[in-house]
Structure 1
Amino acid sequence: MWADETIAKPAARVATREGALALVAEVDGVMAELGKVLEVETARVRAGQIREGLAEEERKSALASRYIQGLEALKTNAVALARLAPEALERLKQRHEGFAQTLETNRIVLATARAVSEQLVRTLSAELDSGSRPSGYAPSGYGQAPRPAAGSALVVSKTL
């Protein structure tokens, strides 16, 4: 077990309709809040505001953890929920479909931003490196010696 992991408490058993409705409402609330965070992150990353988009990473992580725990509680109490609050469970399933679309859009946007960033770094590195390679051949048939000034280092500032 890692030092930063916490032991999840087992989900409480639902025995009443009120308990079933409360569990569904709790999971629905966490899912809605996480969806809002994901939508804001997606919009900011799409706009190129990467730092601002990823600013709520801790909150997103905490909400995701609560959401997973809620799903586990729903699984544990699936039979009771289907018997005690079938309409609330059905509404939650429908809302979950919309949440899944939000999550997938967020995943695609983040993957695209990562791919673009990696490509920019590769392109920049290739351009910097191209000046250090010979661009032609010397009379002896070998490449010309690299120019001493062409081998400059790549410096990236994380404080921009």
Structure 2
Amino acid sequence: MTAAARLAALDTMPAEILCQEAETALSALVDVMNAETTLLRAGRMRDASQLTPDKTRLAQDYVGFARAIQRVEPRLRLEAPNALDRLRQGHERLATQMAENLKVLATAKTVAEDVLSDVARKVGQQDRARTYGSAGVVATDPSAAARGIAVNRAL
């Protein structure tokens, strides 16, 4: 089926069915984002990353339905106003879940950066010579600082 045919099929779908399909995709997306947020809060990054393919597919599905709904909104307002209202409420739940998800992701990123900075600092301290300079303080040689660390990105 061509893209034009898929768009036409969505645009001519009965109002209630279109809204129901969008609501189903939206609900599944909110659920997977909630699961991801829960896993991230628990520090289970690897498990959370397993949800990425599902989240991506569900987001694409929902965006396709949302665009179709925007194209035929006047018809939906006439034929299925209650279904359209439910969909708007669901979209608000998605926005709330996305905000929470982004907040948890930002926190996880900050924690990871802090851990990496602490490790780099400790590695750099271990490499420094512990001798006193002419001023009677421990000399710091910037060239002895950590030159980098390896990070396992599979996590």
Note if contact 1:14-1:81 (Cα within 8 Å) is conserved in structure 2. no
Aligned to 2:66: 71
- Show structure 1 runs of 4+ deviating over 6 A: 140-143, 150-153
Aligned to 2:40: 45
Structural mapping, 1:18-97, within 5 Å: 19-97=14-92
Candidates 98, 108, 133, aligned match of 1:138: 133
TM-score normalised per structure 2:
0.80
In 2, distance between residues paired with 1:123 and 1:85?
Answer: 57
- Percent of paired sites with the same residue: 29
Structural mapping, 1:93-112, within 5 Å: 93-112=88-107
In 2, distance between residues paired with 1:38 and 1:31?
Answer: 11
What RMSD in Å do the two structures reach over aligned CA positions? 3.1
Instruction: For residues 89-131 of structure 1, give each alpha carbon's deviation from its aligned partner in whole angstroms, at most 9, with x where no partner exists.
Output: 0111112211211111111111110111011101110111123
Aligned to 1:3: none
In 2, distance between residues paired with 1:59 and 1:101?
Answer: 19
SS of residue matched to 1:48: coil
| Structure 1, unpaired ranges of 5+ | 1-6
Aligned to 1:11: 7
CA-CA distance at 1:57 after TM superposition? 0.7
